Amino acid sequence: MSEILCAHCHLPCPPKGAIKLEQSQPLYFCCHGCQQVFLLLHSLNLETFYDKLDKGTLSPVTPAPSYDEARYTSKPFLQTFATPLENGDLEVALLLENIHCSACIWLIERVLLKQEGIQSVQINYTTHRAYVIFDPNATHIPHILNTIASIGYSASIYDPNTQDKRAKKEHESHYIALVVGIFSTMNVMWIAIASYAGYFSGMDSSMAFKLHIASWILSSLTLFITGAGFFRGAFYGLKHGFLGMDLGVSLGALGTYLYSIYALFKGLEPYFESVSMIIAFVFISKFLELKAKIRANSVLDGLQSSLPVQVLLLKEIEGEIQRVLISPEEVEIGARIEVLSGESVALDGVLESESAQVSTQAINGENTPTTLQKGDHILAGYTNHANAFIYQTTMPFKRSFLSQMVQLVQKSFMSKPAIQEGANKLVRYFGGVVLAIALLSFLAWWFFADAQRGLVIAISVLVVACPCAFALATPIALILGTNRAFLQGVLIKQASSLETLAKATQVFLDKTGTLTDSLSVQAQHTYAPYDPNLLLALIWHNTHPISLALSTFLQAQHARPGLALESITQEVGGLQGIYQGHILHGGSLAYLQSKGVELGNAKGDFFYSLDRQLLASFSLHAPLKPDAPKLVSQLKKMGLGVEILSGDASKEVFNIAQNLGIACQAPLSPAAKLAVIQETINAHEVVVMVGDGMNDAPSLAQSQVSICMHAGNDLSLIYSDVIVLNNRLSSVLKTFQIARRAYKIAKQNLTISLAYNALLIPCAVCGLINPPPSSPEHEPKLACGGGQ
C-alpha cells in the first residue's frame, strides 16, 4: 500500500493513525494540528499558500503554547515592548521561529492581516523579525502570538538583550566548529604531504593505507562536526523545495567522502583531504559572513546599550522631594528627572537647571561637550559631563529621539534595493540549474569515459558552484555602508536609499539652515509696543532656525519663557497662537499678508502681529557655512546637477548662488518647489532634496531621496530618508560618497560572483577542476580534462 501524505504538511501520515476528512475527495492529515490549520487557511481563502510551497513540505503543527494574557497586556509590559503611535495603535517587534522559506513569510503576513485589529505586518526573511501594528482596543499581543502558533509557527517578543545572547551563542558554536575544521584540515594536509613524499621515497602499501585511515578519521571530524550546518540547511532546503548552496556543498563533500571510502578498500586513490578542504573553506566564508552580520549590527547594539535601564525621578512625597529609581518606560510626560555626572539622558525634555554640560556623541558622534542653558531642549542619548542637572520630560521613552533612532536603524535593514531583489531572483533558480548541470556532466563523462570520471566531474561542479555569493553580494555591502554613514553622523532610514543616492543626477538645496549657518537677529523694527514674553511663548516650542534665533535674541532682551498660550498652530510660513482671546501671528511677509495683516513698508524676515496689527519685524542674517563651497564643488565633480530652491528673498539667494557658482530659483512657495521637483523627475532625473525648514517638508516628501539637517523641523524629519545628525554639510558629501562606494562594491560583488560561476562551472564540466589526489600517481589522469 502506498504511503498517504498529509494534506497540509505533505509528510507521510502514520500507517494506522491518519485523520480522514470527508470532502468531494477524501483528505488525510497526520495530526489534528495540521487539520485545524488546513481548515483555517481555507476559511480565510488562503489556499494559494500550498501553490507557493511547490513540492515542499512543512513541519507538523505542534500544540500552541499558552501565553499569560495578564502579563502581555499589562501597562509595564506594553511600555517596555510596544511602541505607541500617534493614532493610538501599538507596534510590537516579534522574533519568528520555524521559518523555512518565503512561502512561510507570505502565509504569516496574510493570516495576521485578516485578523481584526491588525493594521500592518512587515517581516524580514533574513532576521525572521516581524513588526506588527495593531489596535489595542480590537486585539492584543497574546492573540497575535496564538494566531501565529495556530498555523504551525512560533513567535516571541523581540528583546534586544535576549537577541544579543543568541548572537553570542551562535558565534561561539561557529567558532568551535571552525577550530575543529581548521585543525582537521591542516593535519589531513600534512598527511597528504607525507603521502606525496612517500611516493618518491618508496613508502610500502601498509604505511600508505594507515595514512589514508588517519585522513579518513580526520576528514570525518570536519565533515560531521564543521559541516553539520550544511547538512541541516540542505535537508530543510530539500524539504521545502529550495535548492541552495548548502545542498551543493553537502552533495559535493558527501559524494567525495563516500567515493574515497570506496576507493580506499578497492586499492584506488581516495580524496579525504578534498572533503576537509571543501567543508573548511566554505565554512570559513560562512564564518566571515557571520562576522560581517555582527559587525553590521554593532551600530544598533551601541545605540541600544546607550539607553539607560533606570532613571532618577524627583517625586514629591508628603511635602518632601524624594528621589526614586524607576524604569524609563514608567516615566510620564512632565516628570522631573535628575541626571548625575557620567549618566545618560533617557528621555527627551527641557532643561530646568541653570546650565548643563553634555556630550552628544551617542547621537551625532561629536566628542566636544556642549553647554546647555535653562530652557534648552535635551535629547535622549546625551551624556552628562559635569555636575548633576534636572530636566522636565516632554516625550515618553518609546517616542524619545534615541528610541526612534534605534527603531529606524532596525527597520532600515528590512528594505530591499532593486539590485538585491534581482540577485535574490537569480538565487532561487541557481541551485536547480547547478544540479542539472552536475547530473548531465556525470552522464556525459560516464558515456564518453567511465562512471568514476563522471562522478569526479559531477562533484567538482557541485563544489565550485556558489549561489551564496549572489545572495550576500548586495545586503552586506549596503548594510555596512549604512553603518559607516552613521559613524559619520548620518542616519539612513532605509538601506535602499543608498542605491538611489548612488544613482542621483540632480541635487536641490534649501538655503536657510542648510547652506547657511545659524541665524542671528541683526535688527529689530518696532511699530507699536509689544510684550516680548508673549512672542517668546509663541515661538518657544518651535525648532525652525528662525524661531531658535528669535528665542536667543528675546532672552538676551530679558524675555523669559513661562506664559502658556491657549493654542499654537504651526502652518506653512508661520505660527498662529491664541492668548486670552487675542490672535497672535508670527512668520514670513507672505504668511502675515495671507492673514490680513497690513504691513505697509515694513522690512525684515520675520513679522509679528497681535489681532492683525503689526507690532514688530526682525531682520536676520545667516552666514554661509564654511563647508558649503566644498560640498557644491565636489557634487559637481561627481557629475551631479546642483541648484538652490528657496522661499527667501531672491536677492539674497542669488548672491549665495553666485558665490557658489550654481543656479537658483527664488522666492518659491512650497507648491512651487513641489512643481520644480516633479518637473525634474518627469525629465527622468533622479532627484535628491536637502533641506530642513517647515517649507521643505512637502519637497522632502516629493523627492526620490530626501536629506534633512537634524536641526530642522519635526515634519522634515518625518518625511526625510536621510537625517544628518551633526548638521554638517561635509557629512552630506560623505553620504553621497559612501552611497556610491557601497553601490559600486555591491555591483562588483555581483560581477565577481557571476564571473566566478560563469568561469569555474564550465571548467569543472570540462574536467579542468577536480579534487586533488592524495599522491601524484593519479595526477595525469584526474587533474587534466583529457588525461585518459
What digits encode the pLDDT tens for the residues 460-475?
A: 787 677 655 555 556 6
pLDDT at residue 663, rounded to an integer: 92
Give the percent of the chain with pLDDT over 90.
15
Sequence-ordered list of residues with C-beta below 8 angstroms from that of 17, at least 6 positions apart, any chain: 30
Q: What is the 3-state secondary structure (H, E, C) of 347-408?
A: CCEEECCCEEEEECHHHHCCCCCEEEECCCEECCCCEECCCCEEEEECCCHHHCHHHHHHHH
Summarize the confidence of residues 285-308 as an average pLDDT.
Answer: 63
User: Cα 383 to the chain's mean position, in Å?
Assistant: 26
Q: Which of 100-109, 130-139, 430-439, 479-488 has the lowest mean pLDDT?
A: 100-109
> Which amino acid, one-letter code, is at 78?
L
Q: Which residue has the higher pLDDT, 236 or 121?
A: 121
pLDDT at residue 782, rounded to an integer: 32
Sign of CA dihedral 457, 462, 467, 472: negative
Is 673 a residue whose pLDDT tops 70?
A: yes
Alpha-carbon gap, residue 776 to 783, rounded angstroms: 10
Distances (CA, A) of 772 to 188, 222, 434: 13, 17, 21
pLDDT at residue 389, rounded to an integer: 92
pLDDT at residue 592, rounded to an integer: 92
pLDDT at residue 553, rounded to an integer: 92
Per-residue pLDDT of 113-160, as tens digits, reads: 888 899 988 886 656 778 899 998 999 888 898 888 877 677 888 776
pLDDT at residue 255, rounded to an integer: 79
192 — pLDDT class (breaks 50, 70, 90) = confident
Summarize the confidence of residues 56-64 as an average pLDDT.
Answer: 49
Domains and CATH numbers, the chain: 1-61 (2.30.170), 69-158 (3.30.70.100), 304-410 (2.70.150.10), 476-516+625-739 (3.40.50.1000), 520-621 (3.40.1110.10)
Is 245 a residue whose pLDDT tops 80?
A: no
Q: Which residue has the higher pLDDT, 786 or 344?
A: 344
- CA gyration radius, the chain: 33
With a threshold of 0.75, does the pTM exceed it? no
Residues 143/66, Cβ–Cβ less than 8 Å: no
736 — pLDDT class (breaks 50, 70, 90) = very high
Average pLDDT, the chain: 78
Q: Which of 33-47, 186-200, 456-470, 687-701 has the lowest mean pLDDT?
A: 33-47
Alpha-carbon gap, residue 53 to 71, rounded angstroms: 36
Per-residue pLDDT of 501-549, as tens digits, reads: 988 999 999 887 788 887 789 899 999 999 999 999 999 888 777 888 8
pLDDT at residue 528, rounded to an integer: 92
Is 63 a residue whose pLDDT tops 60?
A: no
Give the percent of the chain with pLDDT over 70.
74
Sequence-ordered list of residues with C-beta below 8 angstroms from that of 676, at least 6 positions apart, any chain: 508, 645, 665, 668
